[in-house]
Structure 1
Amino acid sequence: MPISPNQGSSAGGTAVTITGTGLANASAVRFGTRPGTITANTPTSVSVTSPAGHGAVGVTVSTPGGTSNPLSYFYLEPPTKFSLSSVQGSTAGGETVTVNGSNLNNATGVAFGANAGTVTSSNAGSIVATVPAGAAGSVGVTVTTPAGSTNGLFYEYVAAPGVTAIVPAEGPTTGGTATTITGTDLTGTTEVTFDGVPASFVVVSPTEMSAVTPAGAAGTADVVVTGAGGTDTLTAGYTYLAGPGI
């Protein structure tokens, strides 16, 4: 007499079907000592909703003809989450994030807001997932297992910076020129470089920042702005001017 599924959430509520013979007029289905709720019954099957419980229990069916031998049923504890290995990333997605918690075995899904991520591995204490693309802003992270789902942690999508102009656009090779860089989503800027050489900078607003040029070789230089959401390049955006030679 098989039971399907043979496991479910400790909170109960799992739809379970027991098949066999002589099951007509079933009067009770017990999970251990707790009665389930019979929802359908034929001579060869009983459909029942599991009650709450914990651990492994025997499931028995009682009919006017007696009580069956027990079938094994396993209660699964719901997942909990403690932390994320990374709490922000690009709106383009693709980052690998580890969700740490408990009862995370056999995770069937992980969602970042309304978007489904991809579970690449899981065990009782952690899940490794690939973050999907999403709109800029904070979203809840939900993990689903056969025992239920849990949320309560948040992940922030950060838009990549966009660079539109730099003023002035030229200066001496010795560096030290104070410039203003304009663009979009500049608030989270972590680095500004001129042809790969880091520059000191201060973010003024989401659309403006000031940067002091480092020393560089005569000629054009790419200005690259990097943030948590990615990078953007103003190709040949700044020109280093050689000083006079006498």
Structure 2
Amino acid sequence: MAPVVSSVNPSTGPTAGGTAVTINGSGFTGVTAVKFGSFSASFTVISTSQITATSPPGAGTVNVTVVAASGTSNGIAYTYVAPPVISSLSPGRGPTSGGNTVTLTGSNLSAATAVRFDTSPAVITGNSPTQVAATAPAAPAAPAEVTVTTAGGVSNPLPYFYIPAPTISLLSPDKGRLSGGDSVTITGSNLTLTSTVRFGVTAATGVAVNSDTQVTANAPSGSGSVTVTVTTPGGTSTPGLGTAYYTYLAAPAVGSLDPSSGPALGGTTVTVTGSGLTYTEEVRFGSVPVPFTAVSDTQIVAVAPGGVPGPVTVVVSTPAGTTSGIPYQYVT
């Protein structure tokens, strides 16, 4: 009585062959050959109900048969699967913390069983004949070889680059006008691939990467104190030790001087009253900068320099702008 084949496991394998296939059935006595289509396979008879065979190279779907002195068995289908090929990764880089979705595009990607970043497995979240979506595992900042495995074997590798997270250590200036528009230099590390700079939740304009340690951007309009963040493929920076905060200031204004006049020899202590004066950077009498102390947001004490008899204009400058002038009179 001819042998009978009831199942083969696995029922698929790569076109290159070499897959260990278990053949289950009965009547496996006096077996002389195991064939995948018309090609003979090397085999070992385990028992009268089981044979292990190594698939030869092939293509398409073929019948697996067992040949014995008593005859040839029925055939059970075995499908050769073309090897997977990946042509691109999107994105091709990401944070060392992993967790981002990477799409592998190529061919023969159906029924992917594994995606690996070097030796680390990724979680497969989507699959089609031309694409596999996977969640990148965490890894150190370095290139990793990405491969996909199907019944057809392991694909060619493509490089994926793990990028360290950006950091910010300094903003200059760290204060500016409510209306925005001030150019801010951001100093830190891992800034080369900066794509977005945000002041709070608002994206800055005019972002320019100067080096891996420096980026410039134009502050958007805003108010109060906000966190400045930089985003790269390595992630988004986190503020540390107050170094990544930007404060919006109301424009300064001056309402009065006390006294509003003094001797031409100078040396008079003048109290400047107004608003938005806390962060005063400069006080000028005419074209002359003078010593001063910002007492509060509404008051500055300055020392008038010498001058010629007559009026001069006093102005106050802060990161939010310069006041309109108020007159001070030099007298003989």
The TM-score range, normalised by the shorter chain, is 0.7 to 0.9
Matches of 1:83 and 1:61 in 2, distance apart?
43
Shift in Å, 1:25: 1.4
**Selected match of 2:264 from 142, 156, 173:** 173
Q: 2:167–2:188: 8 Å Cα contact kept in structure 1?
A: yes
Residue number in structure 2 paired with 1:110: 197
CA shift in 2, pair 1:64/1:230, >3 Å: same
Matches of 1:81 and 1:203 in 2, distance apart?
29
Shift in Å, 1:171: 3.8
Shift in Å, 1:150: 0.7
Q: Give 5+ residue unaligned stretches, structure 2.
A: 1-85
CA shift in 2, pair 1:77/1:200, >3 Å: closer
CA shift in 2, pair 1:62/1:223, >3 Å: same
Residue number in structure 1 paired with 2:170: 83
- The two structures, once aligned, show a CA RMSD in angstroms of 2.5
Q: 1:8–1:14: 8 Å Cα contact kept in structure 2?
A: yes
Shift in Å, 1:160: 3.2
Residue number in structure 1 paired with 2:106: 20
Which amino acid letter does the alignment assign opposite residue 128 of structure 1?
Answer: T
- What TM-score does the superposition give when structure 2 sets the normalisation length? 0.64
Q: 2:192–2:209: 8 Å Cα contact kept in structure 1?
A: no
Matches of 1:132 and 1:33 in 2, distance apart?
44
**Selected match of 1:101 from 188, 211, 231:** 188
RCO higher in structure (CA 8 A, sep ≥6): 1
CA shift in 2, pair 1:138/1:213, >3 Å: same
Q: 1:29–1:62: 8 Å Cα contact kept in structure 2?
A: yes
- Of the two, which has the highest radius of gyration? 2
What percentage of aligned pairs have identical amino acids?
45
**Selected match of 1:62 from 144, 149, 154:** 149
Secondary structure at the counterpart of residue 43 of structure 1: coil
Secondary structure at the counterpart of residue 233 of structure 1: coil
- What TM-score does the superposition give when structure 1 sets the normalisation length? 0.84
Indicate whether 1:31 and 2:121 are aligned.
no
Matched pairs, number? 240
Shift in Å, 1:94: 3.9
Which amino acid letter does the alignment assign opposite residue 98 of structure 1?
Answer: T
Residue number in structure 2 paired with 1:123: 211
Q: Give 5+ residue unaligned stretches, structure 1.
A: none
Q: 1:158–1:229: 8 Å Cα contact kept in structure 2?
A: yes
